[in-house]
Structure 1
Amino acid sequence: MKDPNAPAEGIFSHVPIVVTLVLAVLVGWAVCWVVRYVRADAMTRQSIRQAIRVRWGWKRLAPMLKLSATDKTPTALASLANTNGKPIRPRVLIPALRVKHDAYGVIARAQCLPGVGLQQFQKAGPHLADAWRCTRVAITQDSPGQVLIRGVRLDPLKFPTEHHPTGEPPEETARWDLGLDEYAQAVSVNLTQVPGVTVAGLPGFGKTSLINRLLSDWAPSPAVQFACADGKVSAAYEGDYADWVQRMFAFVGDDLEEANKLFRHLVELRRARSASVRHVLGVKSMWDIGPSESWPLVVLIVDEAHTYFRDHKGSDQQTKKLAALAAENARLVEDLVKKGRSVGLLVILTTQKSTGDAIPTFIRDVCPVGLSFAQKTAEAAVAALGDEIREWPDANPINLQDPTYVGVASMNHQSQPGFTRIRTPYVPDAEAARIAEETADLTADPYALLEAVLGPRMADVDLTKIDA
């Protein structure tokens, strides 16, 4: 006769194995966690401990900040279990919270509840910052029904960073990666369909380094060609772009006449492209299909732009000549900014103080993207970023004069209201020189490329009738 207890004995005989497996999994997880913690740097370890505190304290903290909902409707199971007829106690619902860490703090995603949404989380933001021991907290909509809470324990703007270019072509040709914002989130700006960018700021606060990042990231693409007018130097080997000249199809120093020739050459390119864009590309705007090796995005960098546009005062012949050249330079660059967007020309102008005497307002005011490093006066901040910067005192570049903020810029970002402060990284000179040397063979004059595409038909392009 079969023992009725045999099945139970069979089941219980597997218990030690199950327990052993569970313990093995727990030990493996614990070892993995300890290894990650030990291998992390000191800043990340603090963030790991901070994330643990956030998780463990959330169920208690949420109701205190009114980030919970009360459900008075009993569940079906609770109704069936209620045999004594007493009222069923309402349930307190706590938003589910998933927490990750990085070197600067924590990133939490919370599920919304009825009556507990983005607005309620944003209202509780300052209290979350205090409870989580954060310098600041930002709360945004992550997806429908979910909010993203970014808390930074350390101010990312105060920590200098470095960028090490890979030498690989960028995934998106016209996307400019700028650095990290005040919440340590990566910031980039899309320069598709953008005709001009202005960059202002005191000397030595990061303007050239910002441009260096763009050159390092974009140079490996044959679909981008560069030209530069550097008003700080007289010869290419003297300046910040000495290593980059080999990756530029044209470079001029502070000679106004040479700059005038470069600007005139680019205007001729703009007019030739405007005349032939439909024939060559089959579209009205180059951006409908994007830049290519035969029709590249042309980036003109005008560093210390005031050198080329300054109004020269005087009655002697030489001063009159300089004044005429400056006026002509302004007219030519205005043509590039106002008419070059659809055919793939981008002008980046840098200066210390982007007031109307440095960059004429008819050029500056049609550049949709503007950045400013430290400024000394409110007038200079308004000239660089517009009058709205007065309403955002925390982001005003006059607050960036401390040496701690070298490399930090303010900008009006495309994807969010107001102004954002950004920590731009430093690119080591040796790495920039390496990228320039490795990509030098990609350099080509865009006008010559257009001539190669059109062939004999280039002579049929009547530039006198083109005014796109």
Structure 2
Amino acid sequence: MSTTETERGPETEAQLVDLAAYRDPETLDRIEQAAREAVRHTPAGIADLTTGTVHLGKADEAPAAAPADAEAAVIEYTDEDAGTLEILDERDGWHLRTLIPETFTDPGFWRQRRAEWTNAAAFHTLRSPVYLWRATRVAGIGARVAARDSWSYLWATEYGEIADKVRRTKAGPEHIADLRADRRKEAKQRRREPVTVYSLTGCTSYVAAVLALGQTWGWVMAAPVLLPLFGVLYALGRRELIRREPDGTFRIADAVDFTGAGVLTEDGLNDALRARNVGILRDGESVTVKGFIAREADDKASVVRFELPRSAGKTAKEVMAKRDPLAAALAVDAIQLSIRQDGHEGEVYMRVADAHPFGGEPVASPLLTAEEWSIWQGAPTFVDETGRIIPIELLFFGLLVGAMPRQGKTFTARAAAVAAVLDPTCRIVVADGKGGKDWAATALVAEAYIRGVTTAAVRRLTHVLEDLVKEMTETYDKLFELPDEVCPDGKLTPEIVRDYGIHPLVLIADEVQRYLESADKESEDDKLTYGQRIEKALTDLAKVGPAAGMVLILASQKPTGDAVPSAIRDAIPQRIAHLCATYQMSDSILGTGSSASGWNAKDLAPAFKGMGIHADETGYRFMRSLLINLPQFRAICERGRALRIAAGTLAGEAAGDGGRRARVGGIVPDLLAVFEEAQLPERMSTAEILDGLAVLDPGTWAPAALGVGEEDRTAYVRAGGTALRKAIDEALAGTEWNLAVRSWTSGGRANGYYLADIRAAAGIA
């Protein structure tokens, strides 16, 4: 022991005292065993006698004596807890729950047992008439046997058989006479035996009691009294059947068949995997169930994790590819069967639902009542086969939805889009190639809302997308300038959105293939059509845009290579396929080889609209999109608009500014700005428009810029009107639009321009 000089004088340093030297061998063995049990599941995983060591802060302050039960204790005393003893009893790790097998404490196990018992009871109840008939037949055999044996005993019929044998040997008549005399004597003696008398008396009394009860209380009340007789006769009949077939198996009740009941058993699982059209297991092979088969908390499905026999050489992917024949072997619909890899290649997770998971009414989106949402929390889009609402990762992934017409593409895209609508920091651009009312409400929040596939709409979408590509490059420049601590992964984060105002943008394009099919050009000299320019811009945004916060929600009736190029599809890792016409169409959405793996949208049930298959980097799952109808969607968009107004993030067309409203160029955006400044009247005269333009751009439209005096109003309107018509013609050159001046006076004099004409020329519906 050594000392150390301190401000308070010499103090003794901490000392390590080995208690092992003060314990008997039995105590040391008990402490070591307890220590091993305590650390068995810890990262260290090794126990030794250090757990039986006392660390004393100061030797002269060590406790004088250990507690009474210190024989089974570990004591630790440190400087941090000076003056305090911590007693760690080895018995602390001995809990009743650890001594009871897991099968007796897991609720899922007992739910599974209850389901088996319930289904077994139902199975036997339905077959109870068959069992009753079988039992009655056996009792009938017993009655016949009882009558035969009783007659044989009371009348000594065995003597008759002996007499027949003697007669066949041609013995003398005196021998047969002796046998007959012996038979009469033996029969008389048997009938006089007490057992016989008591038995006959008991049977007579029993029959009399039954008859009396039936006459008094009715034969229905007398029926239970016959049960003992029925039981005796059944036992006699069962004994007779066993005598007839000693090696046979006698059974009244059938073995319970859980096939089709949704209750999975280990035998049923192995039988299904051995089925001829499944062929995962050979005869004699069986899977190893990990743990036990259990029921989910909602008691609507059985769940099992199992390992395939290594000798079989099969994998979880092969089991998934056999989904349809495996479902047939289990007598369930394929959609009731969920299979995925669980651990290594030979471990499988399987879920068997009791009924079709999407058989009820569609589930409403939880965002119907949400006042606000963050797109960083994901986008609640669908429910999976377990009934859980699944929020997909929209940011950095995007979404591609494809299907046949009227199978719920727009509903699915809408369910995902509302997460962006309710996030005031999220910008939105919408292109509705269908041209209907499905996305009309987004005009309340969208920086650009493009409806239809007219030449003007396609041209406008082209310009918007090309602007977004430029903006994407600028965003990357901004992210590049940020410190690594602020932008550690080189992509947008919630903190960057908050502190630097770089907001995510969601581009929604419904029936996108219609825009890609456009063969028009902006001018005769252009080499690329609008469709080709849109394809190039979408490819850039899909491949490079996600890290900059730009994601795509694309929906298409024909997402095959000739409609939506694979360069776009392959850049969107998250897809949803509703009912498809062919397996090739399904593969074009979900990815090549998905049908061969057992995930084919062609086989989906058409009766359940909105049902489909979701694919992402984690695998596949069945889904059904959340329901949001048009009135509900408009209400959500109105809330999204209010949120953006409050946050000061409403921009573009929704805010009524030039922004993304007009992409024709030239004078058209300025004309829209003049109308907006005047509170969007139906029409404005040329003089009023010139006054607005003079305020907006005095260097071009002020009287002095046009070479006329400010006092000469007539000359200003004449010169300005001519210059305005020339500017409009230049802006709309090469298009089908011509802002012909419409007159509204009886004299036929042309006085100005209509807002509807300007909006139409700008491609705004």
TM-score calculated relative to the size of structure 2: 0.40
Residues 97 and 109, structure 1, Cα contact 8 Å, conserved in 2: yes
Identity score, percent? 19
Residue 606 of structure 2 is aligned to residue 375 of structure 1: no
Residues 509 and 554, structure 2, Cα contact 8 Å, conserved in 1: yes
- Aligned match of 2:517: 310
- Superposed, 1:27-426 pairs within 5 Å as 52-54=114-116, 99-102=295-298, 105-106=300-301, 136-138=336-338, 150-164=351-365, 165=367, 166-170=369-373, 173=376, 175-194=378-397, 196-233=398-435, 238-253=436-451, 254=453, 255-279=457-481, 282-283=486-487, 285-289=490-494, 292=497, 294-310=501-517, 312=519, 324-393=529-598, 395-400=599-604, 402-416=605-619, 419-426=620-627
- For structure 2, which runs of at least 5 residues remain unmatched after alignment? 1-109, 121-255, 257-263, 271-288, 654-765
Residues 298 and 344, structure 1, Cα contact 8 Å, conserved in 2: yes
Relative contact order: is structure 1 or structure 2 higher (C-alpha 8 Å, sep ≥ 6)?
A: 1
Q: What's the offset of the Cα at 1:149?
A: 6.2
- Aligned match of 1:13: none
Q: What's the offset of the Cα at 1:441?
A: 3.0
2:502 partner amino acid: W
Residues 179 and 187, structure 1, Cα contact 8 Å, conserved in 2: yes
Distance 1:226 1:387 in 2: 31
More strand by share: 1
Q: What's the offset of the Cα at 1:425?
A: 2.1
Distance 2:297 2:386 in 1: 13
2:586 partner amino acid: A
- Aligned match of 1:77: none
Q: What's the offset of the Cα at 1:156?
A: 1.4
Residues 51 and 101, structure 1, Cα contact 8 Å, conserved in 2: no
Residues 299, 100 of structure 1: alpha-carbon distance in 2 compared, 3 angstrom cutoff: same
Q: What's the offset of the Cα at 1:155?
A: 0.8
Q: Secondary structure in 2 aligned to 1:295?
A: coil
Q: What's the offset of the Cα at 1:176?
A: 2.9
Residues 459 and 522, structure 2, Cα contact 8 Å, conserved in 1: no
Q: Secondary structure in 2 aligned to 1:439?
A: helix
Q: Secondary structure in 1 aligned to 2:594?
A: helix
Residues 138 and 183, structure 1, Cα contact 8 Å, conserved in 2: no
1:377 partner amino acid: T
Distance 1:382 1:213 in 2: 23
Distance 1:148 1:381 in 2: 24
Residues 377, 188 of structure 1: alpha-carbon distance in 2 compared, 3 angstrom cutoff: same
Q: Secondary structure in 2 aligned to 1:278?
A: helix
Q: What's the offset of the Cα at 1:218?
A: 3.5
Residues 420 and 428, structure 2, Cα contact 8 Å, conserved in 1: no
Distance 1:291 1:209 in 2: 32
Distance 1:130 1:362 in 2: 38
Distance 1:389 1:94 in 2: 28
- Aligned match of 1:34: none
Q: Secondary structure in 2 aligned to 1:292?
A: helix
1:302 partner amino acid: A
1:147-183 deviation digits (Å, cap 9, x = unpaired) = 9764311111343413142324446625233322334
Q: What's the offset of the Cα at 1:381?
A: 2.1
Residues 358 and 608, structure 2, Cα contact 8 Å, conserved in 1: yes
1:189-230 deviation digits (Å, cap 9, x = unpaired) = 323432x43211112111110121122333222232211111
Residues 317, 349 of structure 1: alpha-carbon distance in 2 compared, 3 angstrom cutoff: closer
1:282-304 deviation digits (Å, cap 9, x = unpaired) = 42623455663522221001111
Residues 400 and 554, structure 2, Cα contact 8 Å, conserved in 1: yes
Distance 1:280 1:447 in 2: 27
Q: CA RMSD in A?
A: 4.4
Aligned residues: 357
1:65-107 deviation digits (Å, cap 9, x = unpaired) = 799xxxxxxxxxxxxxxxxxxxxxxxxx99567644437x135
Residues 291, 215 of structure 1: alpha-carbon distance in 2 compared, 3 angstrom cutoff: farther
Distance 1:382 1:94 in 2: 33
Match of residue 629, structure 2, among 410, 428, 441: 428
Residues 54 and 132, structure 1, Cα contact 8 Å, conserved in 2: no
2:571 partner amino acid: V
Distance 2:525 2:405 in 1: 29
Distance 2:573 2:539 in 1: 14
- Aligned match of 2:677: none
- Aligned match of 1:90: none
Distance 1:445 1:370 in 2: 30
2:610 partner amino acid: G
Higher deviation after alignment, 204-213 or 377-386:
377-386
Q: Secondary structure in 2 aligned to 1:307?
A: helix
1:190 partner amino acid: E
Residues 577 and 613, structure 2, Cα contact 8 Å, conserved in 1: yes
Residues 54, 219 of structure 1: alpha-carbon distance in 2 compared, 3 angstrom cutoff: farther
Residues 333, 163 of structure 1: alpha-carbon distance in 2 compared, 3 angstrom cutoff: same
